[in-house]
Amino acid sequence: MLKQLIAVVKEVGDLLLDWRRAGIREGVWHGSQFKAKVDVMAHNAFQKLLQDLWPRIPVISEENPESLVVERPDFYWLIDPIDGTASFVNGFSGFVTQAALMLNALPVISVIYAPVTHELYWAELGRGAYLNEKRMSVPAVRTTAILIDNYPEPRGVTLEAYKALHCQKYLECGSISLKICKIADGTADIFFKPVHMSDWDLAAPQLVIEEAGGILRDILGEHIRYQGDYSHPGIIAAANEVTFARALSWYTTFMREGGVP
């Protein structure tokens, strides 16, 4: 199943590159979120490929609202056809396509593909996480951490975290999933985002970072499970318990003292 899933995710990634080369970048704004035409195109391709191979496994996707209102099955695919749509539309490399196989509210297999850079992240529950063919292991505690987020420079609450946690370096990256994977592969140490996120943003990279030895929790420090309304209040992703504990402690104090997330 894993090899077939990798092939499916890579095929969707290659389609995304073809569509971008063809100039298909139009879309509409829904509040603060840009929905591109290719979001739906990628969903349709993804769903067909999955159901051709596994017709009895349901597919849940942000791009299919009907799949989000039924009672969640115990066993299903959770897909995000494009994570990092803004990067896709604006010609940057920081977007991925991804899928997770969900069992009893947790991911058990996941594949994430960044087609521009040919970075393929994948993981199986209890069997480790890999970048292409190399097994990943998060780095040991660094004296000063590397923080990652999606702006050219840290700003707002991210800037406050950068200063308070004495980070030595800041990295810019588009996709939520890719930022989490960059912690799993040792590029960064901490990703802090106290804003609304959805199940399809987090399930696939959660398995990758945890199988690499890292941590992904919600902004309150609780374990993430995939139940209910598909929504989470924010996350902290960290390379290790020490970095996670520092970030959670700082944020708790920051909010208690009247900080604005």
The reply to whether 62 and 156 lie within a common domain is no
Tens digits of residue pLDDT in 122-142: 999 999 999 999 999 997 777
Count of beta carbons in the 10 Å neighbourhood of residue 20: 18
Q: Which residues pair with 27 in a beta bridge?
A: 36
CA 40 to chain CA mean position, Å? 19
The CATH code of the domain that includes 235 is 3.40.190.80
The reply to whether 103 and 165 lie within a common domain is no
Count of beta carbons in the 10 Å neighbourhood of residue 210: 19
The reply to whether 62 and 160 lie within a common domain is no
Highest mean pLDDT (candidates 3-12, 25-34, 245-254):
3-12
Q: How many domains does the chain have?
A: 2
Instruction: Please determine, for residue 49, whether its predicted confidence score (pLDDT) is greater than 90.
Output: yes
Please indicate whether residue 254 or residue 119 has the higher confidence score (pLDDT). Answer: 119
pLDDT at 31: 55
In a domain, 141, yes or no: no
As a whole number of angstroms, the distance between CA 38 and CA 84 comes to 12
In a domain, 67, yes or no: yes
The reply to whether 7 and 92 lie within a common domain is yes
Instruction: Please determine, for residue 29, whether its predicted confidence score (pLDDT) is greater than 60.
Output: no
The reply to whether 48 and 122 lie within a common domain is yes
In a domain, 51, yes or no: yes
The reply to whether 119 and 224 lie within a common domain is no
φ, ψ (nearest 5 deg) of residue 257:
-90, 10
pLDDT at 122: 98
Extended beta strands in the chain, E state: 27-30, 33-36, 59-61, 75-83, 96-103, 106-114, 119-124, 129-131, 134-135, 146-149, 169-172, 190-193, 197-198, 215-218, 231-232, 235-238
The reply to whether 129 and 154 lie within a common domain is no
In a domain, 105, yes or no: yes
CA 258 to chain CA mean position, Å? 29
Overall size of the chain counted in residues: 261
In a domain, 140, yes or no: no
In a domain, 78, yes or no: yes
The reply to whether 6 and 87 lie within a common domain is yes
pLDDT at 27: 64
As a whole number of angstroms, the distance between CA 20 and CA 11 comes to 14
Tens digits of residue pLDDT in 90-124: 889 999 999 999 999 999 999 999 999 999 999 99
As a whole number of angstroms, the distance between CA 251 and CA 257 comes to 10
Instruction: Please determine, for residue 258, whether its predicted confidence score (pLDDT) is greater than 80.
Output: no
Count of beta carbons in the 10 Å neighbourhood of residue 222: 10
Tens digits of residue pLDDT in 166-207: 998 999 999 999 999 999 999 999 998 888 899 999 999 999
The reply to whether 77 and 114 lie within a common domain is yes
The CATH code of the domain that includes 75 is 3.30.540.10
Please indicate whether residue 143 or residue 192 has the higher confidence score (pLDDT). Answer: 192
* Domain-terminating residue out of 135, 163, 179: 135
Handedness of CA 44, 50, 52, 54 (dihedral sign): negative
pTM of the model: 0.93
Q: How confident is the model at residue 69 (pLDDT cuts 50, 70, 90)?
A: confident
Span 76-94, average pLDDT: 92
> Is residue 58 classed as helix, strand or coil in its secondary structure?
coil
In a domain, 175, yes or no: yes
Tracing tokens 């791009």 back to the chain, one arrives at: 63
Contact 191, 235 (CB under 8 A): yes
The reply to whether 127 and 167 lie within a common domain is no
Domain of residue 64 covers: 2-135
The reply to whether 180 and 245 lie within a common domain is yes
Span 64-93, average pLDDT: 89
The reply to whether 170 and 119 lie within a common domain is no
* Domain-terminating residue out of 85, 100, 135: 135
pLDDT at 86: 85
* Domain-terminating residue out of 135, 162, 185: 135
**Pairing mode of beta strands 169-172, 146-149:** parallel
In a domain, 129, yes or no: yes
